[in-house]
């Protein structure tokens, strides 16, 4: 018996959106469960921001359906399009969109004033919200006098002060410097958990997505490449694009050798007539199978390793020092692979070494 699934809070169904003749979103579907953070991740131009804005009501799709709490707010079939201000959502913009002519207090209070709350209630809620983002002291300041990070916090306070059930985030951290970004990531995550708000988050930053999300939707060219938890996306990429986008991966092509299959492993014969063992993870082996191995999963050792499967002698062509780790460029027969190793003694170019790959780290990609 299936465990009882909570009804999804946001449902996007077959969404299509074109700007004139240029398609930006070409059929995107996903669900966001109550209280979870779902991140739309992808390179620029993949349609993630457009999708978010369509959910918000700031863009008009050309086809598909969007439901919030089961109620359609957009439906091309039923000709429904609820305006943004009536959808009851909330949003944090990439540029923060802080109103320069108002004080911090009034910025945050705006949504409450729209909902015609009384002055005491407003003061209380705004104070509480500012506390949560540690901006209480700035309450009376002119909004235009704040730094980027401070504006970011005010934007956040403003977004959740009226207790929306859904928060939309449009790359909110991309304008901050690296250190601030890393800190804010954690804060945002904590806040979201504390308030239990359902979040739909858009970013192009891989680390951010992996750190903050409950689930990730990887998008490319207006379509969904893969949906899953961060771990799934990372460990079990479904396509070459996802494999390479989520962390660096080596892609190895070959020929299926079903005659060499052993246990539940799959054998792929490369063009150099090397046999590499991997796992199918439920995917069917196509005519031209491709396996993906993360760079961190190539184990390099100077001595012959103990394993017997997936062991080869290889030659190091180049070592690139990167501080916490080093990148080794390996010649494996005619193929070039990249291995990421923890900081070690530098290996001279041309040195012969041994490479071991755990078969379960060799992931069969889905057929194109």
With binding defined as CB under 8 A, does residue 223 bind other proteins? no
Binding other proteins by CB under 8 A: which of 62, 81, 174, 235?
Answer: 81
Between 103 and 274, name the residue whose CB sits nearer to other proteins: 103
Between 193 and 336, name the residue whose CB sits nearer to other proteins: 193
8-state DSSP, 260: G
Between 74 and 332, name the residue whose CB sits nearer to other proteins: 74
Q: Is 351 exposed, middle or buried (0-12, 13-18, 19+ CB in 10 A)?
A: middle
Binding other proteins by CB under 8 A: which of 18, 29, 62, 165?
Answer: 165
Alpha-carbon gap, residue 196 to 194, rounded angstroms: 6
Alpha-carbon gap, residue 153 to 129, rounded angstroms: 10
Instruction: Pick the stretch among 63-71, 224-232, 267-275, 355-363 that binds other proteins (CB under 8 A).
Output: 63-71
Is 80 strand, coil or helix?
A: strand
The b/e string for 180-217 (b: 16+ C-beta within 10 A; e otherwise) is ebeebbeebbebbeeeebbbbbbbbbbebbbebbbbbb
Contact characters 110-129, other proteins, x per CB under 8 A:
xx--xx--------------
Instruction: Pick the stretch among 23-31, 106-114, 278-286, 335-343 that binds other proteins (CB under 8 A).
Output: 106-114
Q: Of 262, 218, 261, whose CA–CA distance to 239 is shortest?
A: 218
DSSP states of 144-181 as a string? GGS-HHHHHHHHHHHHHTT--SEEEEESTTTTS-HHHH
With binding defined as CB under 8 A, does residue 325 bind other proteins? no
Q: How far is the CB of 256 from other proteins (least distance, A)?
A: 50
With binding defined as CB under 8 A, does residue 179 bind other proteins? no
Instruction: Pick the stretch among 64-72, 271-279, 287-295, 320-328 that binds other proteins (CB under 8 A).
Output: 64-72
Binding other proteins by CB under 8 A: which of 12, 55, 89, 129?
Answer: 89
Residue where the block lists tokens 């909902």: 115
Q: 325 near 342, Cβ under 8 Å?
A: yes
Alpha-carbon gap, residue 62 to 67, rounded angstroms: 15
Size of the site for other proteins (CB under 8 A): 48
Q: How far is the CB of 63 from other proteins (least distance, A)?
A: 15
Which residues make Cβ contacts (< 8 Å) with residue 285, sequence separation at least 6?
256, 258, 266, 364
Instruction: Pick the stretch among 23-31, 83-91, 127-135, 305-313 that binds other proteins (CB under 8 A).
Output: 83-91
With binding defined as CB under 8 A, does residue 248 bind other proteins? no
Instruction: Pick the stretch among 39-47, 56-64, 146-154, 302-310 that binds other proteins (CB under 8 A).
Output: 56-64
Binding other proteins by CB under 8 A: which of 83, 258, 282, 323?
Answer: 83
With binding defined as CB under 8 A, does residue 100 bind other proteins? yes
Instruction: Pick the stretch among 79-87, 207-215, 263-271, 348-356 that binds other proteins (CB under 8 A).
Output: 79-87
Binding other proteins by CB under 8 A: which of 1, 44, 86, 259?
Answer: 86
With binding defined as CB under 8 A, does residue 233 bind other proteins? no
With binding defined as CB under 8 A, does residue 251 bind other proteins? no
Q: How far is the CB of 198 from other proteins (least distance, A)?
A: 10
Binding other proteins by CB under 8 A: which of 91, 122, 191, 265?
Answer: 91
Is 59 strand, coil or helix?
A: coil
Angle 245-247-251 from CA coordinates, rounded to 5°: 75
With binding defined as CB under 8 A, does residue 101 bind other proteins? yes
Q: To the nearest 5 percent, what fractions of the chain are helix, strand and coil? A: 30, 35, 40
Alpha-carbon gap, residue 24 to 13, rounded angstroms: 15
Between 92 and 268, name the residue whose CB sits nearer to other proteins: 92
Distant-in-sequence contacts of 120-129, Cβ < 8 A, 24+ apart = 125/161, 125/162, 126/157, 126/161, 128/161, 129/157, 129/158, 129/160, 129/161
CB atoms < 10 A from the CB of 359, how many?
19
The site for other proteins (CB under 8 A) is made up of: 35, 56-58, 60, 68-69, 71-73, 75, 78-91, 93-95, 97, 99-103, 106, 110-111, 114-115, 158-159, 162-165, 168, 195-196
């Amino acid at each position: 018996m299936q465990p009882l699934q909570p009804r999804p809070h946001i449902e996007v169904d077959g969404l299509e959106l074109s700007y004139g003749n240029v398609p930006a979103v070409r059929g995107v579907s996903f669900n966001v469960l109550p209280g979870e953070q779902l991140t739309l991740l992808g390179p620029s131009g993949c349609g993630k921001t457009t999708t978010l804005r369509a959910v918000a009501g700031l863009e008009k799709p050309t086809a598909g359906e969007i439901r919030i709490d089961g109620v359609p707010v957009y439906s091309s079939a039923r000709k429904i399009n609820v305006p943004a201000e009536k959808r009851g959502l909330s949003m944090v913009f990439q540029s923060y969109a802080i109103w320069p002519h108002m004080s911090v207090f009034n910025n945050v209070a705006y949504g409450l004033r729209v909902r015609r709350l009384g002055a005491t209630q407003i003061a209380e809620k705004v104070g509480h919200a500012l506390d949560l983002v540690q901006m209480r002291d700035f309450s009376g300041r002119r909004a235009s006098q704040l730094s980027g990070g401070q504006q970011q916090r005010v934007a956040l306070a403003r977004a959740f002060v009226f207790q929306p059930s859904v928060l939309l985030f449009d790359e909110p951290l991309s304008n901050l410097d690296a250190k601030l970004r890393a800190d804010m990531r954690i804060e945002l995550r904590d806040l979201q958990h504390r308030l239990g708000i359902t979040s739909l988050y858009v970013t192009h930053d891989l680390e951010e997505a992996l750190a903050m999300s409950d689930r990730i939707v990887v998008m490319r060219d207006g379509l969904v490449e893969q949906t899953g938890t961060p771990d799934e996306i990372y460990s079990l990429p479904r396509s070459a694009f996802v494999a390479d986008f989520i962390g660096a991966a080596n892609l190895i092509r070959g020929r299926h050798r079903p005659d060499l299959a052993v246990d539940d492993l799959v054998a792929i014969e490369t063009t150099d007539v090397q046999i590499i063992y991997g796992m199918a993870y439920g995917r069917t082996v196509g005519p031209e199978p491709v396996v993906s191995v993360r760079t961190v999963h190539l184990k390099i050792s100077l001595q012959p390793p103990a394993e017997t499967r997936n062991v080869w002698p290889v030659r190091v062509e180049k070592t690139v020092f990167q501080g916490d780790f080093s990148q080794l460029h390996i010649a494996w027969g005619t193929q070039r692979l990249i291995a990421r190793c923890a900081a070690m003694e530098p290996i001279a170019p041309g040195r012969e070494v041994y490479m071991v790959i755990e078969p379960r780290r060799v992931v069969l990609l889905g057929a194109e």
